[in-house]
Amino acid sequence: MTIQQLRYIVTLEKERHFARAAEKCLVTQPGLTIQLKKLEEEIGIKIFDRSQVPLVPTPLGMEIIAKAKKILREVDTVRDFVIEQKNILKGKVRLGVVSTLSPYLIPLCLKKFQNTMPEVKFNISEDSTIGLMKALETGELDIALMATPTGNPNLKEFPVFNEPFMAYLPMDHGPLRQNSYILVDRDRDRLLILEGEFCYNSQLLDICSLDTSNSLHNFSYAINSIETLKNMVRQGYGFSIVPWLSTFNETHSDKAKCMPFSAPQPVREISLVTSDTFSKKLLLEKVGLAIWESLPEPLKSETAYKKVRWDDSPYFSKKTNYR
């Protein structure tokens, strides 16, 4: 016995005609007839007297139809409850943000979150890409804001914006052509990357056409923040590639310069990511819109971009064994 079969007999009782009932149920007349027959065979009772025109229920059929109507009312109540819960904008939301983005984006959009979703309490945390993906899969996070695509079939991705990568160079780097940067071989050997943020590193290595970092320094430094990378560049220890937001409104420095790449600019796609069971679509739409409206205007403009993936990088797979 199925809910659909119950809907069929309720509609048949109302229409008293197979063709009209089938049309109301958006099913073929033979299909409706077959389902009625299956239901009657399952319960061992004739629900309709087919010998009469118009069609009429049997006495026991009337009782079954009455119970079916009650069941369907309850089913509709459950459906309405689920829809309401999906659209509710209140309660606690656990939002994780990748650490290479969080310090630059969250201060821009936090007030928008509070104004547009005043009854939602955001519990915001920073983590690495791998940490965010695992937390989504285990249910420790509701939503993550991170670079995509993840290549993870257990996660759903909702792109919000593209963030360009910028070349971050020491002042003695030399002249730059037309205020844009073109990668040169000597910079490949001086690329500084982050410790532990393997998706970000994979993107930087892809931009530089490298399999791994070729640092020529006679020391190792487990750098864990974009700001430390930038400070190392300012002190002349190398060259780095940083996200656009980390340079937004940065005060002028006489020790480093930040330049956009020549077109097409490499970018990372920033998305809201959830588990494949997450159902609060309205909440996602509101969060995504709040982020978009909080972005600096240059990030909203269309330009010649090249999306840099990380999920298919050999470096990422080797470093993490995630797949």
Output the pLDDT for position 175.
Answer: 62
Other Cβ atoms closer than 10 A to 142: 21
Element (H, E) at 160: strand 155-170
CATH number at 164-266: 3.40.190.10
Best CATH choice for the domain 3-87 from the list 3.40.50.300, 1.10.3810.10, 1.10.10.10, 3.30.2130.10:
1.10.10.10
171 vs 92: which has the higher pLDDT: 92
Output the pLDDT for position 313.
Answer: 62
Output the pLDDT for position 222.
Answer: 65
The structural domains of the chain, with segments of one domain joined by +, span 3-87, 91-162+268-303, 164-266
pTM score: 0.70
Output the pLDDT for position 305.
Answer: 77
Ramachandran quadrant class, 236 (left: phi over 0; alpha: psi -120 to 50; beta: rest): left
Same fold, 3-87 and 164-266: no
Q: Across residues 44-50, what is the average pLDDT?
A: 90
Q: Is the dihedral of CA 271, 272, 277, 279 positive or negative?
A: negative
Highest mean pLDDT among 38-52, 84-98, 102-116, 244-258: 102-116
Q: What is the pLDDT of residues 157-213, one digit of tens each?
A: 999 999 999 988 888 776 655 678 887 777 777 888 887 677 887 888 788 777 665
pLDDT higher than threshold 90 for residue 296: yes
* Residue 322 contacts residue 137 (beta carbons within 8 Å): no
Q: Which fold has domain 91-162+268-303?
A: D-Maltodextrin-Binding Protein; domain 2 (3.40.190)
